[in-house]
Amino acid sequence: MKFTTYRIFYILVLITVAIITFAYTEIEPPIQNKSTTKKVKNIIFFIGDGMGLSEITAASIVNGNFLNLEQFPVVGLVKTYSASHLITDSAAGATAYSTGHKTNNGSLAMDVNAKPLKTIMEMAEENKMATGIVVTCTVTHATPAAFYGHQPTRSNVNEQLASAFVNSGVDVLVGGGKKYFMERTDKHNLLDTLKKKGFNVIDSISEARNIHEGKLVCLMAPEQPVSLLNGRKSYLPEATAKAIELLKNNKEGFFLMVEGSQIDWGGHENNSDYIIKETIEFDQAIAEALKFAQLDSNTLIVVTADHETGGFSINGGSLENKTVQSAFTTDYHTATMIPVFADGANAQEFAGVYDNTDIFYKFLKVLGWDIPNK
């Protein structure tokens, strides 16, 4: 009898443990490390030039206390100093992202000894990925150029960078700077060359609405596009969506860089309205990427800046009235850390505090590529 009682008790204990284990498993499933389960196929990399936390906050307030990037589950902070200065410029900042190397201010995809560095886009092309660049500045400006061109200085090299693009493997290019492809000192019309290479060459993003495959170059202004405040029709969201539509046709995936270029210019002008309008348009472009990523689980979206501009601060305002009162400490860049947001496949890799160069190595990791020594 005593043996039977112990036996019954033992069985009841086993049943209880089994029930608790099952219930816990249902309620608290084990956390999976996405980085060990699947490689990223597509990367959409957003750079808000000059966009710090105050710029983001101001845009959110004016936009009804919401931005699309607020949906991102992973947030980090990035240190932006260059090899030559505590306060980076866009050339060195973009080079850090595109190559994983700190370089001197003014250098484009070159190291401190003016040696060319292979960029993430060049690596993507070697791995048969499609690539694209969409910006609201000239396509030969510092940030976009650092992904396809190699120059020891960013100054007075627009024609050289236009030639570098023609010889690159980039599949989609949208921005300004048409004169550097046509009105050149060497008299070459590079747009004709691009047409011979199979590119659709157009002057406005609306012309691309009937283009659903192939390569695209869209140059919408002779030099820099005007600001939204001065009459530019918003094109960054539609251009981002079109670039994704064209690039996603590649079975090996794609790497797309999108820059909200003129957030920075609003900071240089100490003009909060300029900053806010450009940041909101940039955020609308992010929304287009989020729509795509919701349908493609192999897509990673990363949003950050190259630096903050203006020492922008919010000293007052009203959520109800969607207004901000602002102040500035400088008309140049600052050394403050800038935020990074990540969503989609392997987004958790981008949490934490780290150097801007680390973003390049994180890209290599999530793509499953070999990581060279830093």
Per-block mean pLDDT, blocks of 10 residues, the chain (374 long): 44 42 37 53 98 98 98 98 98 98 98 98 98 98 98 95 97 98 96 98 96 97 98 98 98 98 98 98 98 96 98 98 98 98 97 98 96 76
- According to the model, what pLDDT value does residue 1 have? 42
Q: What is the pLDDT of residue 110?
A: 98
- Per-residue pLDDT at 328: 98
Report phi then psi at 243, rounded to 5.
-60, -45
Any long-range contacts for 113-118 (C-beta under 8 Å, 24+ apart)? 114/152, 116/150, 117/150
- What's residue 373's pLDDT? 73
d(CA 113, CA 199): 35
**Predicted pLDDT at 169:** 96
- What is the per-residue pLDDT for 374? 66
Distance CA 84, CA 152 (A): 13
Tracing tokens 């607020």 back to the chain, one arrives at 70
344: left (phi over 0), alpha (psi -120 to 50) or beta: left
pLDDT in the model for residue 372: 80
Q: Where are the alpha helices (DSSP H) in the chain?
A: 2-27, 53-62, 90-99, 120-126, 142-145, 158-166, 179-182, 190-196, 236-247, 263-268, 272-295, 357-367
The CA-CA-CA angle for residues 165, 283, 71, to 5°, reads 125
Show the tokens assigned to 339.
């935020």
Catalytic residues: 90
pTM of the predicted model as reported, rounded to 2 decimal places? 0.90
Closest CA to 165 of 120, 132, 213, 205: 132
Q: What is the rounded distance in angstroms from the CA atom of residue 309 to the CA atom of residue 79? A: 14
